[in-house]
Amino acid sequence: MGIVRHSRCAAIDWLTIGPIAPHADAIKQHFVDGRYAPTTTASYLIDIAHFARWARSRRLDLRRIDEASVTEFLDQHLPHCRCEGSVRRDRGDHRAALGHLLFVLRAKGAIASPAKSMTPVDEELRRFDAHMGRVRGLAPNTRTGVLRVVGRLLRQRFGSGCVDIALIKPTHVRSFYAQQAALHSKPGGVGSVVAALHGYLRYRASLGDQVQGLIGAASAPANWRFSTLPKALTDREVEQLVASLAQPGHSMRRADAIVRCALDLGLRSGEVARIKLDDIDWRAGTITLRHTKGLREDVLPLPATTGEAIAAYLKNERPQTSNRAVFVRHIAPRDKPVGPDLVRKTIRQAYVRAGLPYTRSHLLRHTMASRLLAGGSSLKEVADVLRHRALSTTQVYAKLDSRKLVEVALPWPGSAS
């Protein structure tokens, strides 16, 4: 046992004699701050020391440590490693450990940030992205989808050369549209391609380019938005879901609070993940949503059931952290907020515990809207709670309010009046 302990220490000693020695303490502190388990921290430090030992043998100075040197170590040294002492040879663990190394070195300014490609197309997309955020107020996720489509068109036409909109002809747009349409099985997906192209071409028109002929080259397909009813949980299914909450187990209080935020407030997954401690006014009973899909700030009433679930999580389960997010990670790095993916995963797991055959987290948002309508709320009130920019977005829920539709329906010809 003593021999193993000595060899582990000898391996970690390479942190203090290799090229990363000036930042050895910062690397160790990084894992302490992230509240990584001691065994995980020790394993990562051994892997980083292994890399430091290799880097010293290769006479790499600190400035030459980057993704390329990490790849060389993983591809060429690790599979044939003959290093003595306590070294590990798991590629995945080494890659994770060295990812932390690069993060710390860049945070300290010891190495340069990864070089970014800046072709003329990249520059054009950067300017268009700034326009979408500054002028149109589009959310980051929306802009990412638009840039993906526009980038495909521009790279197809210009490659790494200069962007000249005058060289794009209607036939090019139609051909590109046909290629993209083949990738989508539903009209809504094709419609997003058209919306992205039209948005970019309108941006170019605002710069003085003659693109009117291009705008008409791609038309959105017919998409009967209101042909189907939005899926929502029935009252009985809501009762099942609520009854399944408050179960004992790891991270269950966080799960209860997340489900309540989606069911009682109709919050999107990203909105749940972004809630801060300062956004909740416990005295006024309100919650402020910041940086929402419409890049606005909205103040909503905080239902008692939601507030109780959040309070129970904060008091009994939330780990100690300096992060101001309400929902934080329960595993390392613990000083980080949860992301939208974890919110969606939590809701899917809640469905399973309740015995419900669903997977979509957005289903709870639809359910909240349906329950509001059933309770007598108007479409305008539902639109306000859902924070829709246009009332037309909310109109799909009108078909769920069958009671009010019956009141305004005309008698069938020939029926008894």
- Whether residue 333 is preceded by a cis peptide bond, meaning omega within 30 degrees of 0, is yes
Which class for 220: exposed (0-12), middle (13-18), buried (19 or more C-beta within 10 A)?
middle
Alpha-carbon gap, residue 335 to 49, rounded angstroms: 25
Known catalytic residue at 353: no
Of the residues 88, 172, 293, 330, only one is catalytic, namely 293
Q: What residue type is 332 in one-letter code?
A: A
Catalytic residue check, 36: no
Q: Which of 44, 177, 203, 397 is catalytic?
A: 397
Hey, what amino acid is at 328? V
E strands present in 28-105:
none
DSSP state of 218: S
- How many distinct helices (H) and strands (E) make up the chain? 19, 3
- The answer to whether the beta carbons of residues 251 and 353 sit under 8 Å apart is no
Distance CA 200, CA 125 (A): 10
Contacts of residue 193, defined as CB under 8 A and 6 or more positions apart, other chains included, come to 149, 177, 180, 181, 184, 218
> Residue 301 — φ and ψ, nearest 5°?
-65, 145
Q: Is 137 left (phi over 0), alpha (psi -120 to 50) or beta?
A: left
Q: Which candidate in 50, 157, 268, 371 is catalytic?
A: 268
What 3-state class would DSSP assign to 286?
A: strand
Examine the residue annotation and report whether 404 is marked as an active-site residue of this protein: no
| Spatial CA neighbour of 140 closest among 344, 276, 295, 298 | 295
Q: From edge to edge, which strands make up the β-sheet containing 298-301?
A: 280-281, 286-289, 298-301
DSSP 8-state class, residue 276? B
CA distances (Å), origin 342, targets 276, 284, 286, 337, 345: 16, 29, 24, 10, 5
- Active-site residue, from 318, 365, 366, 371: 365
Annotated catalytic residue 313: no
Cβ distance 273 to 327 under 8 Å? Answer: yes
Q: Confirm whether 250 is a catalytic residue.
A: no
Active site residues: 268, 293, 362, 365, 388, 397
